[in-house]
Structure 1
Amino acid sequence: MKNENLNDNFDLICIGSGMGSLTVASLLSRYAGKKILVIEKHFQVGGYTHAFARKQNKFHWDVGIHYVGDMHSGGFSRLLMDKITNKKVVWNKMPEPFEKFVYPNRTFELFGNEEKFKSDLIAEFLDEEESIHKYFKDLHKASALFGKSMMMKSTTPELSAFTAQMENPEIVTLKDYLDHHFKNEDIKAILASQWGDYGLPPSKCLFATHAALVVHYFNGGFYPVGGGGKIFESVEPIIEGNGGAVINTTEVVNIIIENGKAIGVKTKFLRGEKKERDYFAPIIVSCAGAYPTYMKLIPESVPIPFRKSLSEFYNKEKMATSVCVYMGLSESPAKLGFKGENYWIFASNDHEENFRKRNEWLENFGEVKNLYMSFPSLKDPDAKNHTADMIAFTDYSLFEKWKDLPWKKRGEQYEEFKKKIADSVVDTIEMRFPGFKNIVEYIEVSTPLTNEHFTSHPDGAIYGLACVPERYDKTKSPWFDVTTPIEGLFLTGVDAGGSPGIAGAMMGGLATTLKILGSRDILKNILKE
């Protein structure tokens, strides 16, 4: 809907159109009759669920959905997603094994079956059998805390609740856990292989956050048929059906606050004449992230008691960001043996070192030592042409000198830098899978500057604020909560949820919905198949 055709007043306004906002907007439209306005800065709506196309619409990629867990029949994430999308999104189970963890001395294949995962580990590491059994029990215990707390309290559990579960109170991080229970360095590496899904090495990540992720994929990985854009396509009619609207290419400049209460937002249309306009609602939900909300969207004149400590937390725990290389292929990658599984390729079994050396390949443009590989077209039965995307972690600082230049107009030096990135990634894959270079027809590189430009996430971070232990200490990090010090203003998305990713953002959206309603009755509807 065009901005000029909109009324100024709504029941609720969502800032951003990511999975957190889509969850809030769909559920409150359906179950509470709310008239909702969703405002998106990007010209493509959907946040990290959106898809894009290139080469005359020939090739399609998702920017954020590479795979989602717990989408099997009866899984809570599936039940919730079906309610949000009115069952309009079909989820295709990835082929098995759905992930391969590739190390210099071995490759471990991960199947979407908990017992097989366990038995495969025991078969390779018989001396660690007792610890393996304990590990799986502890995964379930730690993961259950997230679900119970989000359902009952609409918030993540306190750090003390996680540490109380451990037999040793000094076991806090994933590295603490692995070093305490396992001796073999190879099994430690394998168990931590999915750290890229939350962007932190084992020494930084809370064990319980890792546990929630691993349990999330016990039934395999799933991919939306037709791509992630189907999520927004299914939600938009729900919003509009109740008198609401979704607008794009519109930036929220700030949240309007009067007498300590959020009453609306000031916006700026980003194309053509930069028109400003105010929209009003008694409830404002920010899916922009905790840091942008408190440091940018809430005017400086409005006192927030923890602004300084939030800034200190962010600067201390800056998240790694990433480069993503999107490829259009002239032939199916199946000819090279790929079936649609993900690959996590590591330089060593020391993930602390892998994380520490994440920028080395960008300094000499040699082999990419740590690389995630995904083939969307092999996961999606509706794909008409074949695609691949590759992700490698890096730091924003390597791209910072171009940050003030406009999108697509950052100059020859920047374009040359991106070309070297693309060449290094292709050459790395070619070394492992000869013949791959011959089927690459189109290639495009997305950098941290791209992330920052379209999402406003500081430093182009893709996972929100870091899932370090301090995040779950509410006395030290009060900004990780659905509620804010401003009446009528709520957070949603990954910073309100317990973990990153589409599922984490969706759980953040559910927590926000429950808090706004002040009732858990909606859970009965969600749990009805």
Structure 2
Amino acid sequence: MVSDEEADVVVIGSGMGGLAAARTIAQFGGKRVLVLEQHYTLGGMTHEFSRAGRYRFGTGLHYMSASAGPFLGFMTDGRAQLSPLPDDYDAMHFPEFEFAVPATKERFRARLKERFPAEADAIDGFFRTTRWAMAGLAARNVFASFPAGVRKAGAPIVERLFPSTFRSLRDQVSRSFHDPRLRAVLAARWGLYGTPPASSAFGYHAAVPLTFFMEGTAHPVGGPQELNRVVLEILQRYGVVLRSRQRVHEVVVEGGKVAGVDVEDTATGRRYRVRTDTVVSAAGVRNTYRLIGKSHELTELPEERSAVMLFLGLNRSPAEFGLRGENHWFMPDLDEYDSIHRPPGEGTLYVSFASLNNPAARFHTVELLELVDPKVVDQWRGTPENDRPDSYRKFKDELTGRLIARLDARWPGFRETIAFAELATPLSFETYQHSVLGSFYGLAATPQRLRSARAGCRTPVKGLVVAGQDAWGSGVVGALAGGLMAANAVLKPRQLGTMWQAIRSCAVARDSATPWEGYLRVAGIEVLTPTVRRIRFEPLDGDTMPFAFAAGQYVKVALPVAVEPIERSYSICSSPGESGFVEIAVKHEPDGLGSGFLHEELEAGLALRVSGPHGEFTWDPGTEADTLLLIAGGVGITPLMSVLLAAADAGHTGRIVLLASYRTEDEVLFGPEIAALRSRLPGLAVSIFVTEREGRIGLDELRPHVGLTTRVHLCGPAPMMQDLIGRLTELGVPREAIHTEAFVSGRSKETRREKAHAIAVAAAAAGVTEFMIGTVGSAPAFPCSPGQTVLDAANAVGVALPQSCGEGACGTCRVRVLSGAYETDDRGMFSADELAAGWRLACQTLPTEDLVIGQ
């Protein structure tokens, strides 16, 4: 075994528990943290998968508390956007009656009393017991994160003070109520943590369905993977190293202390050891004890249940059946003891309609979950994943049929809407979740678990702690809390004080210099010309946009045109003074993937991920200039409309000249808006050029409007911009007074990636590992990897170059290449003379040999 790496802390598993531990230990402990994930996708049960090129499915997060709570707020820096489920968010179907769970504990209690008036006093008493049981679970879990001496002394005290926490759920509802239907309602939804009422500890039931979900529920906007994306992005900011396809075979223990981990990179087969004295295992207690050779110490803990999940893709909306996004629970018996002994497909069934609750979902999906005994797939356990016997396929097909039949019985005709179906079994969870026997929720939520010294955050090995669901409770947020318990066991007391203060306050002030990123709703689509549409975005919540912008800036929009979204940049054409919405205008480019989606498929109501504002092609009403000359070619007028609106809102009285050029009369944009602006801008002069009739903008058209004090904003096609930069310079306009903006197409980005790949391949074949970029003056040369742009190489080593967008849209990162060969795209940002002098965009320039640059 090669011992070639070191880390302060190694985290095994990248579920929310592992990531929470990694962030807090890195942020508040200042540690170098390495996260090792056995799956090819990071994020644990927050990751998603796609099928049939259109359907996206979550793997473990179906809904959560509408408030998200301080834990999730901390982990996402307040960036989590949640879409509320309907008020009656859980519809329960029993053999003889139905009951819908409403948002808020007060309404739930009132509805229970209305349906079961004879037990009104008992219902009040039950909710008091619930609060006490929840407090007992929290106390037990916090004690479990303390050293052995404190745990041993505190455990019996907690059980004496909070006896209801340790009772079975079945016992507690039997003590509290006489009516079997009321018992069934309050014992239902144990599927949220996975242990049936006869076995589960009431503390877990009190925590999840009876407390955590009582203030309403929600679904992440963009799906569970959006939480995962944000969290991973934040972790990288704290220097956490994240690796997928890394199978940990052993936690190395020397003298009762952690000494390292032995790892296999399953992508390459390489085996290596990471030396460390601290390991946080988010792989579950059973896997953790296996890694130290002590699985036998867990025999006291009951076996866990696994699950089958059916993923359905629909060709129509479930709303056609009267569904609004609420979850549905189908209980075949009042007594869950009978239900859990039914064959797979006939027990308690949970059905969720995530696509109805996710405003960013383009296609409709349904997810069904039934908790089952993992032994139902024993006969196929150990067979190759991709070569299971036909009997396994038959088992899955028959089970799929039974589950779909239950949906069709409830909503006749539902079967006909199903365009895709895939069933996951306990073997699926063993493979992808790497859980023991496909355990879906980790350790069984039983009284035995609460009393066990092995079921929690601490282990007998110094330096080895457990995070995730087994360190607190079930679900993604429960796993997150377990990660914080792991941090509780690793960090020093002073560091813990800072950590908990940060979590409680959850005060995250957005840096105004950092673009906002999140989801906005498409509120309107307007056809401006045969090839241009104006699209309005509004906030998902409230009336105020989450960011302000300056006239001339742009936004980046993630477009769901494929399995992974593509990002495109679009200038803002609305006024910076408008706080309720932001608008862009998009031209339909031939074969344009992004513009094709926005023109042909986009519908009002869809939420798209947007970041902004970006760019320095800006104008402020206080800017000094005798003349503001705005020159647009085609859809290049988009950012200039924002400038005109800003000027009008500010009561600007100075001279503004707009020269706008279009190929044909049909392509002229914003005619009515510009006409209306004439009355608000007394100094505005407008000239529209239709090139098929009047030709292009030339020296004669420019000469009356330019001088040494003219400020120019120029945006349009690259050839036009290159030509006009030269003409403006010829007329004496200082180069620094000419501000340019270019549009970034998907094809240009893809071309740059292709060029970068080709350069990297050619360099590797020639044995070249890096190029050197020298600079004029005293600054040292810096390395550039083949396929890397000059700007990326400079940023990697801290060499300061002017920059803004990184895409070639703004022209800020101008550098002069004095020698050396390269590939580039100038985007029309320079005149012919400037190009001849070597001026290029650092963000578009790919060296093919050593370069010397200047500024």
**TM (normalized to structure 1)?**
0.89
Instruction: Return 342-351 or 391-400, whichever deviates more.
Output: 391-400
> Aligned AA for 2:88?
P
Q: CA 1:170 to 1:426, structure 2 compared with 1: closer, same or farther past 3 Å? A: closer
Q: Which deviations, in whole Å up to 9, do the C-alpha atoms of 1:210-257 show, x marking residues without a partner?
A: 111111111111211111112221222333233331111121111122
In structure 1, what is the equivalent of residue 428 of structure 2?
A: 450
> The residue matched to 2:300 in structure 1 has which SS?
helix
Question: Structure 1 residue 279 and structure 2 residue 274: aligned?
Answer: yes
Q: CA 1:414 to 1:152, structure 2 compared with 1: closer, same or farther past 3 Å? A: closer
The structure, 1 or 2, with the larger RCO (C-alpha pairs under 8 Å, 6+ apart) is: 1
> What is the aligned counterpart of 2:240 among 220, 230, 244?
244
Q: CA 1:162 to 1:105, structure 2 compared with 1: closer, same or farther past 3 Å? A: farther
In structure 1, what is the equivalent of residue 219 of structure 2?
A: 223
Q: CA 1:158 to 1:339, structure 2 compared with 1: closer, same or farther past 3 Å? A: farther
> What is the aligned counterpart of 1:397 among 349, 353, 375?
375
In structure 1, what is the equivalent of residue 411 of structure 2?
A: 433
Question: Structure 1 residue 471 and structure 2 residue 446: aligned?
Answer: no
**TM (normalized to structure 2)?**
0.56
User: How far is the alpha carbon of 1:120 from its aligned partner?
Assistant: 0.4
In structure 1, what is the equivalent of residue 105 of structure 2?
A: 114
Question: Structure 1 residue 308 and structure 2 residue 296: aligned?
Answer: yes
- Unmatched 5+ residue regions in structure 1? 363-367
User: Does the CA-based 8 Å contact 1:464-1:495 persist in structure 2?
Assistant: yes
In structure 2, what is the equivalent of residue 512 of structure 1?
A: 486
User: How far is the alpha carbon of 1:123 from its aligned partner?
Assistant: 0.6
> What is the aligned counterpart of 1:161 among 154, 158, 168?
158
Alpha-carbon distance between aligned partners in 2 of 1:339 and 1:158, rounded to the nearest angstrom: 45
> Aligned AA for 1:495?
D
Question: Structure 1 residue 94 and structure 2 residue 72: aligned?
Answer: no
> The residue matched to 1:356 in structure 2 has which SS?
coil
Which portions of structure 1, spanning 4 or more consecutive aligned residues, are displaced by more than 4 angstroms?
148-153
> What is the aligned counterpart of 2:457 among 449, 459, 482?
482
> The residue matched to 2:190 in structure 1 has which SS?
helix
- Unmatched 5+ residue regions in structure 2? 508-855
In structure 1, what is the equivalent of residue 185 of structure 2?
A: 190
In structure 2, what is the equivalent of residue 323 of structure 1?
A: 308
Alpha-carbon distance between aligned partners in 1 of 2:216 and 2:170, rounded to the nearest angstrom: 24
- Which structure has the larger Rg? 2
> Aligned AA for 2:279?
I
User: Does the CA-based 8 Å contact 1:15-1:287 persist in structure 2?
Assistant: yes
User: Does the CA-based 8 Å contact 1:325-1:443 persist in structure 2?
Assistant: yes
> Aligned AA for 2:276?
A
Alpha-carbon distance between aligned partners in 1 of 2:351 and 2:187, rounded to the nearest angstrom: 17
User: Does the CA-based 8 Å contact 1:21-1:493 persist in structure 2?
Assistant: yes
> What is the aligned counterpart of 1:297 among 274, 279, 291?
291
User: How far is the alpha carbon of 1:416 from its aligned partner?
Assistant: 2.1
Pairing 1:130-145 to 2, within 5 Å after superposition:
130-145=121-136
> What is the aligned counterpart of 2:95 among 94, 100, 104?
104
Question: Structure 1 residue 382 and structure 2 residue 360: aligned?
Answer: yes
Alpha-carbon distance between aligned partners in 1 of 2:156 and 2:96, rounded to the nearest angstrom: 36
In structure 2, what is the equivalent of residue 204 of structure 1?
A: 199
User: How far is the alpha carbon of 1:491 from its aligned partner?
Assistant: 0.7
> Aligned AA for 2:479?
A
Alpha-carbon distance between aligned partners in 2 of 1:361 and 1:209, rounded to the nearest angstrom: 25
User: Does the CA-based 8 Å contact 1:373-1:388 persist in structure 2?
Assistant: yes
In structure 2, what is the equivalent of residue 365 of structure 1?
A: none
> The residue matched to 1:398 in structure 2 has which SS?
helix
User: Does the CA-based 8 Å contact 1:290-1:491 persist in structure 2?
Assistant: yes
Question: Structure 1 residue 60 and structure 2 residue 51: aligned?
Answer: no
Question: Structure 1 residue 43 and structure 2 residue 40: aligned?
Answer: yes
User: How far is the alpha carbon of 1:160 from its aligned partner?
Assistant: 5.5
In structure 1, what is the equivalent of residue 658 of structure 2?
A: none
Alpha-carbon distance between aligned partners in 2 of 1:500 and 1:377, rounded to the nearest angstrom: 23
> The residue matched to 1:263 in structure 2 has which SS?
strand
> Aligned AA for 1:427?
A
> Aligned AA for 1:81?
L
Q: CA 1:447 to 1:230, structure 2 compared with 1: closer, same or farther past 3 Å? A: same
> Aligned AA for 2:321?
L
Question: Structure 1 residue 523 and structure 2 residue 500: aligned?
Answer: yes
In structure 2, what is the equivalent of residue 25 of structure 1?
A: 22
Q: Which deviations, in whole Å up to 9, do the C-alpha atoms of 1:2-29 show, x marking residues without a partner?
A: xx9x982222111011111011112222
> Aligned AA for 1:436?
F
User: Does the CA-based 8 Å contact 1:100-1:109 persist in structure 2?
Assistant: yes
> The residue matched to 1:92 in structure 2 has which SS?
strand
Q: CA 1:151 to 1:478, structure 2 compared with 1: closer, same or farther past 3 Å? A: closer
Instruction: Return 438-447 or 7-16, whichever deviates more.
Output: 7-16
Alpha-carbon distance between aligned partners in 2 of 1:133 and 1:470, rounded to the nearest angstrom: 28
> Aligned AA for 1:87?
G
User: Does the CA-based 8 Å contact 1:94-1:223 persist in structure 2?
Assistant: yes
In structure 1, what is the equivalent of residue 392 of structure 2?
A: 414
> The residue matched to 2:368 in structure 1 has which SS?
strand
Alpha-carbon distance between aligned partners in 2 of 1:241 and 1:279, rounded to the nearest angstrom: 22
Alpha-carbon distance between aligned partners in 2 of 1:518 and 1:33, rounded to the nearest angstrom: 11
Question: Structure 1 residue 262 and structure 2 residue 258: aligned?
Answer: yes
Calculate the aligned-residue CA RMSD, in Å: 2.2
User: How far is the alpha carbon of 1:53 from its aligned partner?
Assistant: 0.8
Instruction: Return 143-152 or 126-135, whichever deviates more.
Output: 143-152
Q: CA 1:9 to 1:242, structure 2 compared with 1: closer, same or farther past 3 Å? A: farther
User: Does the CA-based 8 Å contact 1:289-1:494 persist in structure 2?
Assistant: yes
In structure 2, what is the equivalent of residue 345 of structure 1?
A: 330
